[in-house]
A and B are shown apart, each in its own frame.
Chain A
Amino acid sequence: MTTLTMGRASVPAKYLPVLVTGCLFLAMFVVGGIRYEGFASGQVILNVFIDNAFLLVVAVGMTFVILTGGIDLSVGSVVALSTMISASLMKGPGWPPYLVIPLVLVIGAGLGLIMGYIVHAFDIQPFIVTLAGMFLARGLCYTIGTDSIPIEDPTFTAFAQARIDLFADMWISPSVIVAVVVVLVAAYVLHYTRLGRAVYATGGSEQSALLMGLPVGRTKIAVYTISGFCSALGGVLLSFYMLSGYGLHAVGMELDAIAAVVIGGTLLTGGSGFLFGTVLGVLVLGLIQTIISFEGTLSSWWTKIFIGMLLFVFILLQRLFSARSRR
C-alpha cells in the first residue's frame, strides 16, 4: 500500500481524501471565524448539525449505495413522501406518532427494496430505476395532497422543540442524537460486518466479488433498502424540523446528498470511501449555508452563485491537494 509521509507520521493513501476534506473544513471555519463576528463558537458547529440532521441521515444511506457503485436519485422524493404521509395520517385519521413513524420507515425501506430488486434482477441502470422511483414518490406526494399539511400532534411538537443542553450553554436537538446514532451504526455495519465487506467488494469489482462467492445481488438489494430506510428516517427528522408535510419539501436533496458523499472523498465508481468523509461532506455543505447566512445581504440568485463558487473552490483545493500527494 502506498503511504504518504507527512513529517514523522505516515498516512495511508486511502485516508487522504478524508484528511484533505477535514483540513479544508477546518480552514473554512477559521476563515469564517476571522471574517464574521460570533462565527467561531461551538454552537455554530452544533447548529450545522441541528439544521442538517436529516441530510446527514439521508447521506449515510446514499454512502452505502455509492460505495457499491450505484446511485439513488429517489431520496429527496422519499423524504418528501415521508413528511407527507406522517402529516396526513396524523391530521386526518389522527393516528398516534408511534404507529405513524414505523409505518413511514417500512414504506421507505419497501420502496428501496423494490428499486434494489429491479436494479439487480432486471439489470437496469440504477440512475434510471431510482429516477423512476423519484417520479413515483413525488407523484404519490401530490396524489395525497398538493398543499402543505401542518403537524399539530403534541408528541411531535414536544419532540421538535426539545433542547438537550450540553456544557457551556451549548445545546442540540434530539434529531442530532438520532443522526449520530445512525452514523455510528452505519460505520459499524460498513467496517465490522459481512454486509459491509460485501458492499466494498461489490463496488470495487462486481465480477470479482461474484467469483469470490459474495452475495452480490443480496448486497445490492440491501443497500437500496438501507438508503430507502435512511431517506424515510430523514423524512421523519425533517417533519420534526419543519412541523409540516409538503410535496415540495426536499426538492433537489438527492443532489445535496450525492455532493456530500463525493466531497467526503467517496468515488462514484464505488469501492472507495468512508462514512466519516460523508459526515464531513454534510458539515461542509452546512458550513457553506452558515457562511451565507452570516453574509446576510445576498439576494437569492447571488446565494446560488456563491454556493456554486464555494463548492468549486472547495473541490478544486481538495483535488489539488490529493493529486499532488499521489505523485
Chain B
Amino acid sequence: MRRLLWPVVVLALLLVLNVFFTHGFFSIQVRDGHLYGSLIDILRFGAPLILVSLGMTLVIATGGIDLSVGSVVAISGALACLQISEDASVFTAVAVALGLCLVLGAWNGFLVAGVGIQPIIATLILMVGGRGLAQLITDGQIITVNSPAYKLIGGGYWLTVPFGILIVIAVLAITAFLTRRLALGMLIESVGGNAEASRLAGIRSRGIIIMVYAFAALCAGVAGLMISSNVSSADGNNAGLWIELDAILAVVIGGTSLSGGRFSLGGTVLGALIIQTLTTTIYSIGVPPETTLLFKALVVTAVCLIQSPSFREKVFRRRGRAAPSSPAAEEKVRITA
C-alpha cells in the first residue's frame, strides 16, 4: 500500500522522537498481569479517537461530514452514567446509551439523505443542540459513578490487554470485514463518487447514507462510554469537545479525500495514532501548555505538506519543469470518469 507510506513514516518519526525524551519509550512490560508501556498508553488513550475516526471515515467516504460526534460522545457518556447512578444495570445503561446514539445518527442521516440538507449544517444542528442535551442530562454537573463493571469499558483489562484496545480491534475488524469483504464498501464509495448516478444504477444511496451516519454516531457513542468510564464520571460540558476536528484530521491524514469516494480504514487508524502520539509527544518533551496548539499546527502542516504529491514534486525533485496544472481538477475528472 504505497498510499499509507507517508503516514507510516510520520508516525515512526514521531515515535523515534520520543525515545530521546522518554527513557525506555519502546519497552512493554507485564505488571500484575496487565500490559504496561508508553506504546500501550498511546493505544489506550487513542482508542476513543480511533473509534470516532472510523465512523467519520465512512461518512466522509459518502461525501458527507459529521460535526456532531463530539456532542454524541458527551450524550452517550452522560446517559450511561445517569442510568448507572440511578441503579440500572451496566448492561442496560450501555444498551440505552448506544440505542440513543443510533437514533441520533439515523436522525443526522435522515436530514442529509431524506431532507437533503448539506451535511455540515445538518450535523451542526445536532452539534449545538446535542451539547445542550448532554448538559440537560447531567443537569450541568459532573455525574460520578462507582461501578467496577462500567470501569472495565475504558479503564479495565481483559487477558492482560486494556479492554478499550480490544473494543477498537473488534470494531475495526467488523468494519473492515463489512466494507472490504462484502460489497458494502464499494457501494459506499460509489455513493461518495456520485450519489445520483449510484441511485440510477440501482443502489439505495439514501439507505446507505442513513446507515453510515448511524454507524458514525454508534462509534462516537462507544467512544463516549470509554471516555466517561475511564474517569468514572460524565461531563456534559467538556467530554468530546472538538473531537470532531481531530477525527476529521485523522481521516484526512490517513489519505481519504473530503470530497468523498475512496477511503482507507488503515490510513484512518494511522492518522488517529499520529494525532494521539503527537499529544503524548507534546507532554513528554515538555512543550509549555500555551504553545501546544502552535506545535500541533506546525506538525499538522508538515504532515499534510509531506503527503501532498505536488509539494514533494516541487521540493524533492527540482527538475525545472512546469508544475502540473492543478491536480485537484484532474482528480475530479478521474472520479467522474
Binds A, one of B112-120, B169-177, B191-199, B214-222: B112-120
Chain A 103-154 residues near chain B, CB threshold 8 A:
118, 121-125, 127-129, 131-133, 135-136, 138-140, 142-143, 146
How many chain A residues sit at the interface, stated as a range, is 35 or more
Give the contacting residue for B304; candidates A124, A142, A301; CB below 8 A: A124
B126 within 8 A of A: yes
Contact B124 A259 (CB under 8 A): yes
Residue of B126, B134, B311, B328 most packed against chain A (CB within 10 A): B328
Among the stretches B7-15, B82-90, B287-295, the one at the interface with A is B287-295
Q: Is the interface of B mostly helix, strand, loop or mixed?
A: helix
Q: Which residues of A contact B152 (CB under 8 A)?
A: none
- Which of A87-95, A190-198, A307-315 lies at the interface? A307-315
The 8 Å CB contact of A206, one of B133, B297, B332, is B332
Query: Residue B178 at the A interface, CB < 8 A?
Result: no
Check if A319 is an interface residue, CB within 8 A of chain B: yes
In the complex, which residues 108-146 of chain B have their Cβ closer than 8 Å to any Cβ of chain A?
115-118, 120-122, 124-136, 140
Give 29 pairs: A residue, B residue, CB < 8 Å, sorted on A: A122-B308, A122-B310, A123-B308, A124-B305, A124-B307, A127-B248, A128-B258, A136-B293, A136-B294, A139-B290, A146-B290, A206-B332, A207-B329, A255-B127, A258-B120, A258-B121, A262-B120, A268-B120, A301-B131, A301-B134, A301-B236, A302-B132, A304-B129, A304-B131, A308-B129, A311-B124, A311-B128, A311-B129, A315-B117
Nearest chain B residue, comparing its CB with the CB of A142 = B290
- Among residues of B, the one whose C-beta sits closest to the C-beta of A74 is B297
State the CA gap A282–B135 with chains docked (Å).
Answer: 26
| Residue in contact with B290 in the complex, picked from A143, A217, A304, CB distance below 8 Å | A143
With contact pairs A128-B304, A131-B300, A135-B296 given, residues A259 and B291 touching in the complex (Cβ less than 8 Å): no
Decide yes or no: A300 and B140 within 8 Å by CB, A122-B310, A128-B304, A135-B293 being known contacts: yes
Q: CA separation between A137 and B267, bound complex, in Å?
A: 28
Contacts from A to B (Cβ < 8 Å): 118, 121-125, 127-129, 131-133, 135-136, 138-140, 142-143, 146, 206-207, 210, 216-217, 255, 258-259, 262-263, 267-268, 299-309, 311-312, 315-316, 319, 323
A118 to B306: give the CA distance in the assembly, Å: 12
**A304: nearest residue on chain B (CB-CB)?**
B132
Which B residues are in CB contact (< 8 Å) with A143? 290-291, 294
Nearest neighbor of B133 in chain A, beta-carbon distance = A305
Contact flag A216-B326 (CB < 8 Å), given A122-B305, A143-B290, A308-B128: yes
Q: Which residues of B contact A258 (CB under 8 A)?
A: 120-121, 124
- Kindly state whether residue B301 has any CB partner on chain A within 8 Å: yes
Q: Name the distance in Å between B131's Cβ and chain A's nearest Cβ.
A: 6
